[in-house]
Structure 1
């Protein structure tokens, strides 16, 4: 039986972790959301946009090696570590590969972990209508020891876990209602995320150059009016020399003779306008009163539609 991919359940943002015995907390991993589908004969790894990523992660492409169920759907996050912490930039280096030889080479350079936090189907039965506490117990029962797969630990002290995550420089935590069921494509307060590091996906509408190479992005998000609104510029982060060089070539191919933003950006001197087609994950400290990002940093370029980059309701 071949599974039809589902859209995973998503948490809502909260300012503070909820209190009470009905809640359990887990680390929020800065990686790629991934569901593992095993029908008893083959495994497929599918991301939240229903794109197949089985080739990109061969070390976790055989679910029978890390799960004893005869058939299963697991939900989790694929992460790569850099200096002991999850690095979205590093895992995206794996996720974007298409060539088999490049994938084989990068497997050794950038090992990944599959951090599993839910089980949606097991041995021919859907489990999504069971409480999270039951799904969690079933997951622990079904997972086998594996060098690239771990069950995400749960903690009763959400405030303590948030403090520990902040001390370690991690992205945040997710608090889950132990009685909550799982709704594909859903997003509600059964899962609540507390973010230490704020992030968003933004569109580049322009770039600047230094010595002929792109050195910064002019970023925007689409508003309810359908126009691209400037939210700041970023030139720091995880981009390597090769990334900037590739972006320079791309920018010239996307050049336009008009400004794509709804209003003139604060930083316009030396700006080179491009079609708003390139999407990037951005970390930032906070929003300023003028509607721009404070201390934005570039984490990675994403294979996403610019139409998904929307201004938040703040």
Structure 2
């Protein structure tokens, strides 16, 4: 592929939504951030960590079926819907696959939709320096909506969209400055996100058991000195019985005698320590005064480096 992969522009977290005619709002979809690259010959899907995911989503390889551009870089979120609501757990069942046979089976079992919200490159030219409203016009011109690809709608009534996102228990909204250029590898207040559900990627450093089956994961984040700090435990969420059985089997090969956390977990009694290699996405209500997660809920195992899971 002739196009060099880039790191996407990221919104900052806010608790106060901006207002004014120069701001628009979009639903924040709970899925996998993905950039699609097409250099005129080859299509590649690469996530924000720089990992290739083309094989996992064969529905998006034929870019001529959903884009009119002769070359292009699109930015968006791949989602999987359950009863009309995005499910991160379901999309990760697609994203984590490596074997062709499994991928083909899951294409039928778990349909995906690529929700496209920006364009970085079009017909041989970078368009990142253009203001957002011009990029949106260009995106409307080249994108061909279909069963697996849809544009992300924009709305001027920011408070209303935020209320709707809460009513439908969606992750939240992203608010964007219409005059903003696309800042590759950037993160600033020109894009802001407000969440209804807090989430974090955390490292698993231990497990507890009930009747011989793992029933909870002990979670941590790394500090600036690369020490793993315990932040809570979780045994509820999207994981099913088969997931817990798989975790139980795989944990047998990860046992270690030393506690990986530098502080003392509240569930230390009965805990079994494992090598801190697993990373999970966790939803939670808020941080407690003691620095732990309130009401954590496991959404899925994610393909990420444990050392990237840090205190902000």
Provide the TM-score with structure 1 as the length reference. Answer: 0.98
Question: Who is 1:298 aligned against?
Answer: 298
Q: CA offset at residue 16 of structure 1?
A: 2.1
Alignment of 1:279-298 (within 5 A): 279-298=279-298
- What do you get for the CA RMSD once the two structures are aligned? 0.9
Q: Secondary structure at the match of 1:230?
A: strand
Q: Using the alignment, how far apart are the partners of 1:16 and 1:106 within structure 2?
A: 40
Trace 1:99-138 onto structure 2 (pairs within 5 A): 99-138=99-138
Q: Whole-Å Cα distance in 2 between the matches of residues 83 and 232 of structure 1? A: 30
Measure how far apart 1:93 and its partner are: 0.2
| 1:224 Cα offset (Å) | 2.1
Secondary structure of residue in 2 paired with 1:159: helix
Check conservation: 1:42, 1:62, Cα contact below 8 A: no
Cα deviation for residue 137 of structure 1 reads 0.8
Q: Distance in 1 between matches of 2:92 and 2:156?
A: 32
Would the aligned equivalents of 2:91 and 2:112 in 1 still touch at CA under 8 Å? yes
**Corresponding residue for 2:266?**
266
Structure 1 gap segments, 5+ residues each: none
- Does residue 1:186 correspond to 2:186, yes or no? yes
Superposed CA deviations along residues 1-33 of structure 1, whole A, max 9, x for unmatched, are: 621111111000000211111111000000000
**Which ranges of 4 or more aligned residues in structure 1 deviate by more than 2 Å?**
none
**Secondary structure at the counterpart of residue 80 of structure 2:** strand
Question: After superposition, what is the alpha-carbon deviation per residue over 1:199-241, rounded to whole angstroms, capped at 9, x for unaligned?
Answer: 0000011000111111100111111232111111000001122
Q: State the SS of the aligned residue for 1:91.
A: helix
Output the TM-score relative to the length of structure 2. 0.98
Q: How many residues align?
A: 312
How far the C-alpha of 1:164 sits from its partner, in A, is 0.3
CA distance in 2 between counterparts of 1:251 and 1:287 reads: 28
The residue correspondences of 1:37-56 to structure 2 (distance < 5 A) are: 37-56=37-56
CA distance in 1, matches of 2:145, 2:180: 27
Match of 2:21 in 1: 21
Tell me, yes or no, if structure 1 residue 161 matches structure 2 residue 158.
no
Native 8 Å contact 1:36 1:46 kept in 2: yes
Pairwise CA distance, 1:49: 1.1
Residue 74 of structure 1 contacts residue 116 of structure 1 at CA under 8 Å; is this kept in 2? yes
Name the residue aligned to 2:255. Answer: 255
Distance in 1 between residues matched to 2:98 and 2:277, nearest whole Å: 20
CA deviation after TM superposition for structure 1 residue 255, in Å:
0.6
